[in-house]
Amino acid sequence: MTFASLLAVDWPWASWPWWADTSVKMVFAIVAVLIPAGGTVYLYLFKMVSFMQSRLGPMEAGPYGSMQLLAELGKNVQKEDIFPEKADRWVFALAPYVVLMSTFLLAVVVPFGPQAQFTNLDTGVYFALAVSSVSVVGILMAGWASASKYSLLGGLRAAGQLIAYELPLILAVVGVVIQAGTLNLQEIVAAQNQQEIFGWGGIGNPFILTQGLGFLIFMIAVQAELTQGPFDMPVAESELVSGYMTEYSGFRFLMFFIGEFATANIFAFLGSVLFLGGWALPPFVTDLLGIEWDSPWMNVIGPGVMFTKMLLITFVIYWVRFTYPRFREDQLQKFAWKVLIPLSLVNIAITGALKVAF
C-alpha cells in the first residue's frame, strides 16, 4: 500500500529547516485550536443550547445559520476599539493575548496521533497543567486594568476560583499518572491501549473505567477552570455583568471569547487523552482493520477519533453549563477545598495501594 508506506517514512518536516517546520506547526496549531472551537461553538452554543431552550438559534446566516460564526467575527472585528478612560492601556490591551496564549500553549502537548503532535514532552501532563494556569494572569490583568469595579471583583473572583480548582484538577490527574506510570501523554495513550481488563484487551483499558472518580473530579475542575456554569461566578452576567470582560468589546472581546471556548476544547482533548484512550482506536477495531495500533494511518484517523471524543466531553460541559444555577463564591471554594480535594486524595491513595498490590 503506497500511501501507507508514504506515511511510514520519516515525516517530511523532520528534514526541513526550522522555520519551515515551525510555520507548518503554527498553521496546524491554529487549525487544531480554532476549527474545533468554531465547530463546538456553532454546534453546541448556538444550536444545541437553542434546542434545549425551545428556540431555534441563528437561522439567517447560511443554511441553519452555519455561517453565523463568520458574521460574529465580522461584527466584532468592525467594532470600535474602546479603551476605558482610566484603563491601564498596555495591560488592558495585552490581557486577552495572555489568555489566548495559555490556550495555545496547552495545545502544544496534546497528541493527535502517534506522530501527529506538536511536541512530545516527557512531562506532558505536568506542562499542560502548568500552562493552563497562565490564563489566571491574563484574567487578573484584565480585571485590574479595566479600571472598573465590576471587572475588579470579577478578576479577583476568577483568580481565587482558578487557583482553588487547579489543585483538584492536578490531583485528579495524579491517579492516571500513577496508573500509567508516566507523565508523557503519548505513553499514557499507549498504556490505555495496551493494558487489559481482567485479561481481555478488546477495548484496552481506558482509565475512565478505573479512574471514574478521577474523571468526575477532572470534569468538575475543568468546568470551574473554564468559568462555565455552575462555576461562572467570575463572569456572572446577572450580577457582575461579565466580570473581567465587562469593559472589553470588539476584537479584544473576541479574543477572550475564543480563549474561553478553545480552552474548553483543549481541556476536552486532554480529558480524552487522559481518560478515554486518546487518539488510539480500541484494539479490537485495529485488529479488524488489520493495522497496528500505532500504525502511521493513525496520524490520519487519530485526529478524527480525538475530535469525536472531544465532542462528547464538550457536550457534557455545555449541557451542565446551561442547566445549573451558579454557586456562590464561598460555596464554590468550600466545594473545592472540602469535597473535591479530599475526594481526589482518597482516589490517589486507593490507586496507589492497588498499584502496589497488583
Partner 1 sequence: MTAVSDRRQLAYIAAQAADARVNVELEAEGMTLNIGPQHPATHGTLRIVARLDGEQVIEADPIMGYMHRGYEKLTEVRTYPQVTTLINRIDWLGSFANEVPFILAAEQLMDVEAPPRAQHIRTILFELARIANVTLFLGDMGVQLGAVTPVFYAFRDREHVLNQIEAATGGRFHPNFDRIGGLKDDLPAGWIEETKKSLKEIRKFCDQMDDLIVGNEIFQARTRGIGVIPADVGLSYGLSGANIRASGVDWDLRRDNPVGLVYDKVDWKVWTHPDGDSFARYWVRLQEVRESCNIVEQLLDTIPSGPVMAKVPRIIKVPEGEAYIETENPLGVMGYYVVSKGGLNPFRVKIRSASFSNMSISPWLLKGAYVPDVITILASLYFILGDIDR
Residues within the interface to partner 1 (CB under 8 A)? 52-55, 149-150, 153, 229-230, 232-233, 236-241, 322-331
C-beta of 316: minimal distance to partner 1 in Å?
16
C-beta of 63: minimal distance to partner 1 in Å?
24
Nearer to partner 1, 239 or 287 (CB): 239
Nearer to partner 1, 153 or 268 (CB): 153
Nearer to partner 1, 86 or 328 (CB): 328
Amino acid identity for residue 179 in this structure: Q
Nearer to partner 1, 308 or 331 (CB): 331
Whether the link from the prior residue into 230 is cis, omega within 30° of 0, is yes
Q: Residue 114: phi, psi to the nearest 5? A: -55, -35
Q: Which residues contact 292 (CB under 8 A, 6 or more apart)?
A: 286
DSSP characters over 60-115: SSSGGGTTHHHHHHHHHHHS-----TT--HHHHHHHHHHHHHHHHHHHHT--SSSS
C-beta of 328: minimal distance to partner 1 in Å?
5
Q: Residue 202: phi, psi to the nearest 5? A: -60, -40
Nearer to partner 1, 63 or 325 (CB): 325
Nearer to partner 1, 122 or 237 (CB): 237
Nearer to partner 1, 208 or 236 (CB): 236
C-beta of 77: minimal distance to partner 1 in Å?
26
Closest to 229 in 3D by CA, of 142, 332, 330, 140: 332
What are the cell numbers at 293? Answer: 495500533
Q: Which residues contact 211 (CB under 8 A, 6 or more apart)?
A: 175, 176, 179, 275, 347, 351
C-beta of 54: minimal distance to partner 1 in Å?
5
C-beta of 8: minimal distance to partner 1 in Å?
50
C-beta of 307: minimal distance to partner 1 in Å?
27
Closest to 323 in 3D by CA, of 243, 256, 223, 254: 223
C-beta of 341: minimal distance to partner 1 in Å?
19
Length of the chain as a residue count: 358
Residue 295 and residue 336 in contact, taking contact as beta carbons nearer than 8 Å:
no
DSSP characters over 268-312: HHHHHHHHS-TTPPPHHHHHHHT--TT-TTHHHHHHHHHHHHHHH
C-beta of 64: minimal distance to partner 1 in Å?
19
Counts of helices then strands in the chain (DSSP H, E): 16, 0
Nearer to partner 1, 79 or 334 (CB): 334
Cβ-based burial of 128 (10 A; exposed 0-12, middle 13-18, buried ≥19): buried
Nearer to partner 1, 32 or 240 (CB): 240
d(CA 120, CA 124): 7
Which DSSP category does 205 fall into? -
C-beta of 53: minimal distance to partner 1 in Å?
4
Nearer to partner 1, 188 or 233 (CB): 233
